[in-house]
Structure formats: C-alpha cells, structure tokens
C-alpha cells in the first residue's frame, strides 16, 4: 500500500485550504458568517470585518473553535482608509490574503423616485463601491503570490428587475459588470474572479418583507457555492453561480 508523505498527511489533516488566508467582508452574521465558518472548516485562516463589534467578536469566537487563525476588525468598507488598515492588519496577523469574499451589503427598497440621495449613496457605496475598494487593496498581494480567488456576492436582483428594486438592482447589476471586467483584467495573473447570485435567503438582511423559511435559501447554501469555487481545479474557474430556492415563494 502506498504511504502518505508527511507533507500530504499535513494537507489532509489541515484541510484543502490549510495554506490559505481568507478575508470576508460583512462576516459577522448571515451569509458572511456562514461563509467564514465554511472557509475555516476547510482549513483557511479567516479574517472578518463589519461594523458591529459585539457580533464580530461572537463570530470570531465561533471561528476559533475551527481554526487558531482567526482575526476580526471593525471597518467601514466604503472608506478607502479603513479598507487599507483592514488589509494591512489582516496580512500582518495571518499572512497574505489568497481568498477575498466581498459580501458586505444593504438593502433599501421602494420606488426610486421616492428615495433620497443619501439612501442612493448608502446602497451603492456599500454594495458596489466596497467591492472596488477592497478588491483594489487586495489584488497587489495576490499578483505577487501568482494567484488568488475574489468572490463577489451579488444577487439574482443583479439579473432581474422588479418594482421597488431600483437602488438595490442598480448596485447588484453594477457588481455583475465590475466582476466580469475584473475577471478579464486579472485572469492572466492567475486570479479568479467569480460572482455568486443567490435568490431569497432566510437571514436578518433587510429585504422586501418576511421570508417563508421553507421557500428560501439558507446562508449555508451560499457558503457551499463559495466552497465549490475555492476548491475548483487551479486551471479553471466558475465565473458565475446562480443559487435558487427549490420551491418558489
């Protein structure tokens, strides 16, 4: 019987992502928390950020049950200065970031003509500008490493329009366009840019109304899609994944 080398044995024990460091924005709850936990289960060192210190700390405590390499920091990912500090602190604590999940997001719904400029800025900055800022901060390190994964959490609202979705759809359609262009810009550097478009997910996210839990996705369904992307053979990538509830609401 063929023996397992010490190196391979370490990989097996540590998980498929044992050599990786991941950063998940909006990682304290909901989809972001589920993704962070899944990446930790796969062996990655995981950093999370958000604005709620107590929820970040609680999620980091849960992560430490899966990995010794966990880090959290409060950050407003719509501000370039705070993003820069977050990336520097993560890489100082855990090492170069090889997986970035841009998950931070908000939802405000209603007719666009009834929304304020401040509401427009909030949604577009959180859902779209943050993807640009955090990706821009992480890409140089990924280029030096010769590869990496950037996964942008969009929505089926980035493919479909609906009444009252003007601000949210605009932000998510923007994520679709930005992701596609980034994929072309970065693929020659070995960096894979993917976008995940979930349907309705049963989380605390402020959506259009109460969700029927029996006809909605779980946050773990989106985390599974992330797992599929980051464990894909290095010579290929999944550019876009749509995740829908089996039963329609």
Distances (CA, A) of 79 to 117, 131, 132, 157, 219: 18, 11, 11, 25, 27
Distances (CA, A) of 238 to 4, 194, 226: 31, 6, 10
| Residues 196, 242: Cα–Cα separation, whole Å | 6
Whether the CB-CB separation of 83 and 77 falls below 8 Å is answered with: yes
**Spatial CA neighbour of 196 closest among 215, 167, 217, 214:** 217
Catalytic (active-site) positions = 168
Q: Which residue has 């604590």 as its token pair?
A: 93
Which residues in 7-158 belong to E strands, given as ranges?
21-25, 45-50, 70-74, 99-102, 148-153
């Amino acid at each position: 019987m063929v023996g397992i080398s010490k190196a391979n044995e370490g990989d097996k024990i540590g998980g498929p992502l044992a050599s990786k460091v991941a950063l998940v924005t909006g990682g304290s709850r909901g989809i972001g928390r589920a993704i962070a936990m899944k990446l930790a289960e796969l062996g990655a060192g995981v950093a999370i950020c958000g604005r709620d210190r107590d929820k970040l700390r609680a999620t980091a405590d849960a992560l430490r049950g899966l990995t010794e390499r966990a880090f959290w920091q409060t950050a407003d990912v719509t501000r370039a200065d705070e993003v820069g500090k977050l990336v520097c602190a993560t890489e100082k604590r855990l090492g170069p970031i090889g997986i970035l999940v841009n998950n931070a997001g908000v939802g405000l719904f209603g007719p666009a003509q009834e929304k304020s400029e401040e509401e427009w800025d909030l949604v577009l900055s959180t859902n779209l500008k943050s993807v640009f800022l955090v990706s821009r901060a992480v890409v140089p390190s990924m280029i030096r490493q010769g590869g990496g994964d950037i996964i942008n959490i969009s929505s089926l609202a980035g493919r479909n329009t609906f009444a009252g979705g003007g601000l949210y759809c605009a932000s998510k359609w923007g994520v679709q366009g930005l992701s596609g262009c980034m994929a072309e810009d970065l693929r020659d550097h070995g960096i894979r840019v993917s976008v995940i478009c979930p349907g309705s997910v049963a989380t605390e996210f402020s959506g259009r109304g109460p969700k029927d839990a029996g006809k909605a996705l779980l946050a773990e369904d989106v985390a599974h899609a992330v797992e599929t992307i980051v464990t894909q053979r290095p010579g290929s990538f999944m550019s876009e994944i749509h995740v829908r509830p089996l039963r329609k609401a």
